[in-house]
Amino acid sequence: MHLREVPDMKNNNQHTISLLVNNKPGVLIRIALVFARRGYNIDSLVVSPANDSSFSRMTITATGEVKTLEQIIKQLNKVVDVIHATDHTDDVVVERELVLIKLSIQPEQRSEVLQVTDHFKCQSVDISKDTLTIESTGSTEKIDALVTMMQDYSIMEVVRTGKVLMSRGLTAT
pLDDT of residue 12: 60
Cα dihedral across residues 103, 104, 106, 107: positive or negative? positive
Would the pLDDT of 7 be above 70? no
Domain with CATH 3.30.70.260 in the chain: 12-90
3-class state of residue 57 by DSSP = strand
Report, at the CATH architecture level, how domain 12-90 is classified.
Answer: 2-Layer Sandwich (3.30)
Report, at the CATH architecture level, how domain 94-166 is classified.
Answer: 2-Layer Sandwich (3.30)
CB within 8 Å of 16: residues ≥ 6 apart: 59, 60, 61, 87, 88, 89, 93, 95, 163, 165
pLDDT of residue 169: 87
Condensed to tens digits (0 to 9), the pLDDT of residues 49-108 reads 999 999 999 999 998 888 898 999 999 999 999 999 999 988 889 999 999 999 999 888
